[in-house]
Structures are given as structure tokens and as C-alpha cells.
Amino acid sequence: MNSTSDNSSVGGEQADLVAVCAELQGELDALIGGSGNAAAQSLDTAVASLKEVEQRNVSSVQLVALAHR
């Protein structure tokens, strides 16, 4: 791997995190606003998405570490 692809991968992951955080904030606002069960379900979905992004980040870090051995 070269540093350019590493950087673009990290940038993409940061964009994913920003998008998921914005989604989480929206779901939190909806929950506070009284949308009840639907908002809670959407929040669960957003948390699952965040966990997927986190797992991709861990995998990317592992790949970068292996590439630099």
C-alpha cells in the first residue's frame, strides 16, 4: 500500500463517521422530540451502522499495520 491510498481510505472513513454522527444526532433529536418507539428503532439502526464503521476502521488499521511490517 502507498501512503496516498492510506490517506484517502482514512478520509473516507472520517466522512463515514461524520455522516453516522450526524444521523445519530438526528435520531437523538427525534427521540427527545417525542417520536418514541420509531426514534428508538432508528437510533438502534444508527448505532449498528456506527459499529460497522468502527469495525471497518479496525480492519483498515490492521491492514496498514501488516503492510508496514
Cα separation, 23 vs 43, in Å, equals: 8
CA distance 37 to 46: 14
pLDDT tens, position by position, 42-69: 888 889 998 999 988 888 888 888 888 8
- pLDDT recorded at residue 61: 86
Q: Which domain covers residue 44, as residue numbers?
A: 3-67
Cα separation, 42 vs 24, in Å, equals 9
| pLDDT at residue 21, as a whole number | 87
Count of domains in the chain? 1
- Per residue in 3-32, pLDDT (tens digit) is 445 556 777 888 888 888 888 888 887 777
- Residue 68: its pLDDT value, please? 85
Looking up cell 463517521 gives 17
What confidence score (pLDDT) does residue 8 get?
A: 65
Query: For residue 1, is pLDDT > 50?
Result: no
